[in-house]
Amino acid sequence: MKPKAAVRNADPTIQFDDVTYRLNGTVRHTIVKEIRFVIDSGQTLVLLGRSGSGKTTLLRLINRLLTPSAGQVIVSGRPTTDWDPIRLRRGIGYVIQDAGLFPHFTVAENIALVPSLEHWDAARTSARVDELLTLVGLEPAQYRTRRPHELSGGQRQRVGVARALAADPPILLMDEPFGALDPVTRAELQREFRALAGRLAKTIVFVTHDLREALALASRIILLENGQIVADASPQDFPRLDHPEVLAFTASLTPVPGSPS
């Protein structure tokens, strides 16, 4: 047995300890500054903010695609810099806006990526692929052998979520996963995501610039402005805060009939 269960067994909490990240290490290019918060196990935390507010940077600091210029990010009890980045990342699911599916792999091969890196046997992998396809609402027999270019945007994103969940990571990072979808498909995936998140009991960090999406999906919302946290509240309390950036976001909400919030 390889020492792969480290993220799995430990508590899947994420802690930011006065984390600063500067591009090229220069003060002028400070992206996030002295960020401090704890994400509890099982929480669906939404990082909300405008473009360039630093939300994606925070996400990428968690799986060590970036390392802090100062401070530390602690995942499952250890600073990310102490982790072998490969082991750390295999215990953290990652979903991005364009799905980033491998165009030369079939749907099944895409989903089986982490299991194959972890040398699962074929039967176990195959069963897992079917299970996940079913979970994200795609008929396994119909979709297993398709290639990404034969899928719609919504289907690609479903496969992206299935791939991220393949090895059952305790932590899931999602960077505007529904951002590129048409409104109908987006609403559909948001509904399913909410049901899924409730069932899977994972620690989820979700980046978006859409307040409506944040209110619909989050168990907690952190609002970022210019690389700093300006609000941290439950979705129930968030709209009642009176910080100018919160007001700017709530003002952006135009009432739409049947909106999920």
Partner 1 sequence: MTPWSFFLEHRSEILEATANHLTLVLISMAFAIAIAVPLGMLIVHRPTLRNFVLGLASVFQTIPSLALFGFLIPIPFIGGIGRRTAIVALVLYALLPILRNTYVGLTGIDPAVLEAAEAMGMTESQILWRVRLPLARAVILAGIRTATIITIGVATIAAAIGAGGLGTFIFRGVAMVSDAVILAGAIPAALLAIIADLLLGLLERRLKIS
- Binding footprint of partner 1 on the chain (CB under 8 A): 63, 65, 85-90, 92, 94, 96-104, 113-114, 117, 147, 149, 160, 163, 173
Judged by beta carbon, residue 102 or residue 234, the one nearer partner 1 is 102
Specify the residue, 99 or 129, whose C-beta has the smaller distance to partner 1.
99
Q: How far is the CB of 109 from partner 1 (least distance, A)?
A: 10
Instruction: For partner 1, give the closer residue by CB, 149 or 240.
Output: 149
Rank residues 94 and 193 by Cβ distance to partner 1 and give the closer one. 94
Distance in Å from the first CA to the final CA of the chain: 46
Q: CB of 250: closest distance to partner 1 in angstroms? A: 31
* Least distance in angstroms from the C-beta of 126 to partner 1: 19
By beta-carbon proximity to partner 1, the closer residue of 33 and 89 is: 89
Relative orientation angle of helices 183-200 and 153-165, to the nearest 10 degrees? 20
Min dist. Cβ of residue 113 to partner 1 (A):
6
The two tokens of residue 87 are: 């082991």
Least separation, in Å, of the C-beta of 65 and partner 1? 6
3-class SS of residue 14: strand
Residue number with CB closer to partner 1 (12 or 235): 12
Distant-in-sequence, close-in-space partners of 48: CB < 8 Å, separation ≥ 6 = 55, 208, 209, 211, 214, 221, 222, 223, 224, 249
C-beta of 244: minimal distance to partner 1 in Å? 33
On the 0-12 / 13-18 / 19+ scale of CB atoms within 10 A, 61 is buried
Comparing CB distances to partner 1, the nearer of 156 and 186 is 156
Q: Which residues contact 64 (CB under 8 A, 6 or more apart)?
A: 73, 80, 81, 83, 85, 88, 89
Tokens 């990571």 belong to residue: 169
Q: Are 204 and 46 in contact (CB under 8 A)?
A: no
Cα 120 from chain centroid?
A: 24
Output the smallest distance, CB 5 to partner 1, in A.
14
Measured from the Cβ of residue 200, the count of other Cβ atoms closer than 10 Å reads 14
| 18 DSSP assignment | E
